[in-house]
Amino acid sequence: MAKPTVSKPRGWAAGFFPAVFVAAIAPLAAAQPPAEPAATPALRPLVARATQAGLRVFRGRHLMLVTDRPPRDGDGLDQLPPIFDEAFAVWCRHYGLDPAAHADWQALGCLVVDRDRFRAAGLLPDAVPDFTNGYCWLHRFWLADQSNGDYRRHLLLHEGVHAFTTTLLKIDTPTWYTEGIAAFLATHRLVATAPRFQQTPIPAVATEVEQLGRIETIARLRAAGEAPSLDDVFQLRPTLHGTITSYASAWAAVAFLAGHPRYAAVLAAAERGPLDARFTARLTKHPGWDEAAARRDFDAFTADLDYGYEFERMTIDWSPGEPVDADAPPLRIVVRADRGWQNTGWRLRAGQQYRLRASGRCVVGTVGEAKKQTVLESEADGISIDWYRGRPMGRLLVGQWDETPDSGGRPQFQILAEGAAATFTAASDGPLFLKINNRPANLSASDGQLAVDIVSVDD
């Protein structure tokens, strides 16, 4: 979440992150809460107390929402229980549960403005620690009211996932998964017609997830050379207060594993097992798990992550490539406009100079509203109408994967050359990659390709 949420009865302790990446998620509860009841506890008496205390109650099938927030036109509070019910079905399907078999499952959520009012009503026990944003205890959760309706709804669903996983799945997984899956399953957009809740593995636009700030956080960590490795995220430890950095990282790891074609099945297999303390070990010992590949793919993911990121278009082929003789004729390679980094299949020699020329024209997106869309076309130098990550959109980028960037941060692509004509020196023995500079969100509206001729330059 954009701000720390308190989510588990137990706390998390210090993390292993370097420098600024100080891991800190979730709270340390002041006291261990009472033992878990055998079934859904009696929530109705609590709702009756709320009504007696003059608090408002909104009822859905799965959520009873109590609040002291004064009524305001258009605050949408009455919509929260039905949206929660839709989300509940999505969460069930994620874990292979039949929603009909859990039709009676209920949670009691308290949307809190004045904590003293809830304490006085007997709805905020002393055992609940002084949470910053939210706290979940079995079938009950509390969240501090938020001025932004989208953020409030995300926070409510985040705590709702904790209630779901804690009670129905007895979750006791390492922190990265417990928090990451709550963030992952809560992230959504609302559409006009039911079911309005649409889970979005990676949000398409920033306005769908106002104030969450997770994609921005990963980008900021990347720019500062402080992005976590996948191992760093796996080692997130319980600590007193959460940070946006640790939440963003936990979300990124789950979004990556759930979405990447090389890891989605492995994560799903782990999720069918007990959600216990050995979860990470079972995930990484699965026969389909390749540790080095996962580490590199996660680094490539955090480097290129942005709104509208689609794994099908951004997944990287890491094949080592074939060397090409120095006196070979120019090699012609095509680079597609609707994909991220593309392996040319050509293995470069470190220190060797190469010259390239690119030709052709491709579509790199559209501008304007649906009925008046203008198609944006670009050649290899790019177009000045829009820039992305410091370079014109549509510009040809030439790169190699750099395991030890000068910045000192995690591995990433080093751009060796750009534009329609360039001479460059290979940074390493490894494959040459090409891409057309663009926002991930534009790739689905992009089309066509550029032709690139490359030749090694005699010494």
Sole binder of Zn ion in the list 2, 3, 5, 154 (CB under 5 A): 5
Q: How far is the CB of 96 from Zn ion (least distance, A)?
A: 22
Give the span between the Cα atoms of 299 and 162, in whole angstroms: 28
Q: How far is the CB of 143 from Zn ion (least distance, A)?
A: 10
8 A C-beta contact, residue 288 and residue 186 = no
Contact between 7 and Zn ion per CB under 5 A: yes
Q: Which is nearer to Zn ion, 184 or 424 (CB)?
A: 184
Answer whether the bond into residue 195 is a cis peptide, omega within 30°: yes
Kindly identify the residues of this chain, within the stretch 45-74, that bind Zn ion according to CB under 5 A: none
Contact between 23 and Zn ion per CB under 5 A: no
Q: Which is nearer to Zn ion, 143 or 443 (CB)?
A: 143
Q: How far is the CB of 258 from Zn ion (least distance, A)?
A: 17
For residue 256, give Cα distances in angstroms to 116, 173, 266, 332, 414. 41, 18, 12, 33, 22
Angle at 252 between CA 440 and CA 160, to 5 degrees: 115
Kindly identify the residues of this chain, within the stretch 156-215, that bind Zn ion according to CB under 5 A: 179, 182
Structure tokens at 29: 């509860």
Residue count, binding to Zn ion (CB under 5 A) = 4
Give the span between the Cα atoms of 392 and 381, in whole angstroms: 8
Give the span between the Cα atoms of 254 and 241, in whole angstroms: 21
Q: Which is nearer to Zn ion, 242 or 419 (CB)?
A: 242
Q: Which is nearer to Zn ion, 166 or 456 (CB)?
A: 166
Q: Which is nearer to Zn ion, 121 or 161 (CB)?
A: 161
Give the span between the Cα atoms of 147 and 130, in whole angstroms: 20
Q: Which is nearer to Zn ion, 17 or 176 (CB)?
A: 176
CB-count exposure of residue 428 (10 Å: 0-12, 13-18, 19+): middle
User: Shortest CA distance to 187 belongs to which of 220, 155, 217?
Assistant: 155
8 A C-beta contact, residue 442 and residue 351 = no
Structure tokens at 248: 């963003």
Q: Which is nearer to Zn ion, 66 or 171 (CB)?
A: 171
Bin 320: left if φ > 0, else alpha if -120 < ψ < 50, else beta: alpha
| Residue whose Cβ sits closest to Zn ion | 7
Q: Which spans of this chain sit near Zn ion (rule: CB under 5 A)?
A: 5, 7, 179, 182
